[in-house]
Amino acid sequence: MDKKVITEARLEEALERLLSGCPIRVKPEGTLTLNKVNKEARLSHSYVHKFKEFVERATPKIDTFNKTKKQAIEGMDLGEAELTEVEKLKADLKREKALKEKYRSERDDAKTAQKEMEALNATLMFRLYELQEELGRKRLVSIS
Q: What does the alpha-carbon distance between residue 19 and residue 60 come to, in Å, rounded to a whole number?
A: 12
**Closest by alpha carbon to 30, among 13, 12, 47, 18?**
18
Q: Is 28 exposed, middle or buried (CB count within 10 Å of its CB: 0-12, 13-18, 19+)?
A: middle
- List C-alpha distances in Å: 49 to 5, 87, 132: 15, 29, 89
Q: Are 55 and 49 in contact (CB under 8 A)?
A: yes
What are 32-88's pLDDT values in tens digits? Answer: 999 999 999 998 888 898 999 999 999 999 999 999 888 877 765 545 456 778 888
Residue 68 inside a domain? The answer is yes
Predicted TM-score (pTM) of this structure = 0.56
Measured in whole angstroms, how far is the alpha carbon of residue 115 from the centre of its chain? 33
Residue 94 inside a domain? The answer is no
Domain co-membership, 19 together with 44 = yes
Domain co-membership, 19 together with 75 = yes
What are 26-41's pLDDT values in tens digits? Answer: 888 888 999 999 999 9
What are 110-134's pLDDT values in tens digits? Answer: 999 999 999 999 999 999 999 888 8
Residue 106 inside a domain? The answer is yes
